[in-house]
Amino acid sequence: MTKRIISIWTSLLLAQFSHADEAASDRRKVEFFEKLYKTRIEGVKPLEEYPDPDQFYSAIARQVGIPKKAFDAVEKRFGWKQNDEFFLAAVVKGGGDADDWGIMVTKFPTGLKTAKSIEEKKKLLKAMEMKFVVIHYDGTISFPKEKKEEPDAPEKERPETGHVHPRKGQAQKP
């Protein structure tokens, strides 16, 4: 009888540990990110309770400092920093099967906040810049290369569909 109780007790303990490990390896659970970043994440609801999964991952990213790391990275690489002249904004994408966070960092002129006319805002927006930063779960940071289109590049035809893609800025023919 004692052996049977010990056996049942051991089985229950093993089942609980395997369930805890399962939650810690599921990227749709807060526990995964707590284990990954060795920190307690508070106030983030389960993924299913958000209307958009990006809201779940963004809430986690803020708590583990992903936007701050992206701001530090663009400062180091491009010299961008928040000051009297510019402010930075970040949009974080993450989750799913990816092993990284994608962060779009945008540098805005601070005058945009106080611009009174549309013309003034349009002029200030010309100074806006964006950079995409990838922060891998292991902490490495990269900046994906931007595809630059040749100014005189011919239209691209897709033989499989017969569809022609016009160059940027060129009006499509009806």
Task: For residue range 38-92, list pLDDT tens digits in order.
Answer: 999 999 999 999 999 999 999 999 999 999 999 999 999 999 999 999 999 999 9
**Averaged confidence pLDDT in the chain:** 79
> What is the reported pLDDT for 145?
81
Asked if pLDDT for residue 150 goes beyond 60, the answer is no
Bridge-based pairing of strands 163-165 and 86-93 is unpaired
22: left (phi over 0), alpha (psi -120 to 50) or beta: alpha
- Identify the residue with better confidence: 42 or 147: 42
